[in-house]
Amino acid sequence: MVKYESDELGRTFQALADPTRRAILARLETEPALSVSALAEPFPMQLNAVMKHLDVLSDAGLVARHKSGRTVSVTLTPQPMEAAMAWLQRYERFWTASLDRLAAFVETPPEA
Amino acid sequence: MVKYESDELGRTFQALADPTRRAILARLETEPALSVSALAEPFPMQLNAVMKHLDVLSDAGLVARHKSGRTVSVTLTPQPMEAAMAWLQRYERFWTASLDRLAAFVETPPEA
DNA sequence: CAGACACTTCACCACATGGTGAAGTATGAA
DNA sequence: TTCATACTTCACCATGTGGTGAAGTGTCTG
């Protein structure tokens, strides 16, 4: 279980897997620069916990923190999502054009 | 840390976060129905470990298993990816049209 | 039936994750 | 200088995750 590799895409998906983190990103979509405490305020958890989520998000490159004075403002840097979208896009054909073909595969014997 | 909720989207992203599982899905994209052992063969781990990955993938609804005789064939059922794509798509504007506007946000003081 | 084969399940392990409370560190204000 | 504010870090905890080896189950095959 070494996980020494960089695996950018993995960190992106991992970061997106938590509902709290998705909520943080969703808030930053409409309010483009929020302080850490403003971000944490709506959540039913301690500031520490939100900090850890922010650590995961910035390790994944999805947000950036900028200290100005004693407040730290968090901004969206969603470029890593582009790679995630691109990865998913390879499967798009399965739920658009050839859904019936997929259904056929599902019923196909294993040696086909 | 209850995690009682269903959180379909979270399970999807969680399933996609592991490189082994992404490799499994990638293989199923081109070879639409593979047996469990055929799927496991290229990986440097025991069959058990691959089984656990398949459990995660089928819990997320990304693959289906169909037993026929003593072999089990695994097929791609990537519908949950559609929701994941849709979620990501909300952020698409940030890396296409208004990248310069994003850059401006990054430099904006926190109270803006 | 006996045995191989394909898969599943069980018990276990090390490390990651998501939370807590409490203490620590700058920085702005009185 | 003193104190509150805004984060950060530390120590800890329960549970989840990704792997192992070994045993169990159902299905062909000789």
Q: What is the pLDDT of residues A49-79, one digit of tens each?
A: 999 999 999 999 999 999 999 999 999 999 9
pLDDT of B1 above 80: no
Q: B110 to chain A: which residues are within 8 Å by CB?
A: 33-35, 66, 68, 71-73
**Alpha-carbon distance B11 to B98, whole Å?**
31
Domain membership of residue B50 (yes or no) is yes
Residue at A25 is within a domain: yes
**Residue A67 within a domain:** yes
Residue B103 in domain: no
Q: What gap in Å lies between CA B91 and CA B89, rounded to an integer?
A: 5
Q: Which residue has the higher pLDDT, A28 or B94?
A: A28
Residue A3 lies in a domain: no
| Min Cα separation A54/chain B (Å) | 16
Among chain B residues, the shortest Cα distance to A25 is held by B91
Residue A73 near residue A34, CB atoms below 8 Å: yes
Average pLDDT over residues B71-89: 95
Query: Letter for the amino acid at B11?
Result: R
Tell me, yes or no, whether B54 lies in a domain: yes
Range of the domain at A26: 8-107
Which residues 44-83 on chain B approach chain A with CB closer than 8 angstroms? 64, 66, 68, 71-73, 75-79, 81-82
Query: Residue A100: what pLDDT?
Result: 53
| Number of domains, chain B | 1
- Residue A111 pLDDT more than 80? no
Please answer whether residues A78 and B52 qualify as being in contact, where contact means their C-beta atoms are separated by less than 8 angstroms: no
Within a domain: B92:
no
Q: What is the rounded CA–CA span in Å between residue B83 and residue B102?
A: 25
| Statement: residue B107 has pLDDT above 60 | no
CA distance A71 to A73: 6
**From the list B5, B13, B19, which residue is nearest A17 (CB)?**
B13
β-bridge mates for residue A72, sequence order: A67
Tokens of B4: 């009682």
Among residues B94, B54, B93, B96, which one has the least CA distance to residue B76?
Answer: B54
Q: Is the CB of B67 under 7 A from strand C?
A: yes
Please check whether residue A47 lies inside any domain of the structure.
Answer: yes
pLDDT of A32 > 90? The answer is no
CA B112 to chain centre: 36
B70 touches strand C (CB under 7 A): yes
CATH number of B22's domain: 1.10.10.10
B76 three-state secondary structure: strand
Closest by CA to A56, choosing from A33, A80, A37, is: A80
Residue for token digits 């040696």?
A111
Helix locations, chain A, DSSP H: 8-16, 19-30, 36-40, 47-59, 79-89, 92-95, 99-107
Q: In what order do the strands lie in the sheet with B33-35?
A: B33-35, B71-76, B63-68
Determine the Cα–Cα distance for residues B21 and B29; give it in Å rounded to an integer.
12
